[in-house]
Amino acid sequence: MPVTRRCFGYAVGNEIPAGIVRWFGRRRVERFIEKLYRLAKAEDPEALVTYVNFPTTEFLELPFLDFFCFNVYLESQDAFEAYLARLQTLAGDRPLLLAEIGLDSRRNGEQAQADSLEWQVRSAFAGGCAGTFVFSWTDEWHRGGYEIEDWDFGLTRRDRSPKLALDIMRQVFAEVPFSPNTNWPRISVIVCTYNGSHNGLQSASATWRDRLSELRGHCGG
């Protein structure tokens, strides 16, 4: 299959219910997820592959995943930050990505949703997360072929008009993980070459052009 590197990675599953995991047994579900992981890797060996877990099945042991991915919905900042610390322990040396965070504005109000999402995103990055996704873009969404009408998690309403949270998220994501006003220290980069002019001045110039071009790419210049 043709692969583009614009694809960040693949999630081979999302939130297998705890009741199903307990019915079939943890080991059987773990083997099933690993099988899906291996199939994805066979199709795209260089891709990052994960499974999106959630708190009620955090006991699943999936050490083969390329990065640790969780959906977390907690309305208390203290509880949220404490659970992030626990997830970092479970993740070990793998990056932790929050695949879903959010708050229902239907029950909590749009101001509370905006306030909650602000501290959720800031806390996620302060807690060392590699990234996070806000659930969701719009209040209109479907599950099992049916429209969900009693939850309003979107940054926009069903008619796509913006809520207060949309502007807050635009501002927050421009500031995390590092503020655009950060005063970065200046550094020196030393590039060494062995026999750089061995094949003549023209060859040496081409070599330096290639190296400097690579440096600009790494620095975003």
The string of pLDDT tens digits covering residues 182-214 is 888 888 777 676 665 555 545 556 667 777 777
Half-sphere exposure (Cβ direction) of 44: Cα atoms closer than 13 Å? 17
So what's the pLDDT on residue 203? 58
Q: Nearest Cα to 53, choosing from 122, 100, 116, 92?
A: 100
Residue 34, H or E segment: helix 26-43
So what's the pLDDT on residue 216? 74
> pLDDT: is 18 or 198 the higher one?
18
The string of pLDDT tens digits covering residues 88-122 is 999 999 999 999 999 999 999 999 999 999 999 99
The string of pLDDT tens digits covering residues 164-183 is 999 999 999 999 998 888 88
The token pair at 49 is 């592959």
Q: Is the dihedral of CA 207, 209, 210, 212 positive or negative?
A: positive
> pLDDT: is 220 or 48 the higher one?
48
Residue 175 CA to residue 71 CA, distance in Å, equals 22
Residue 12 CA to residue 67 CA, distance in Å, equals 12
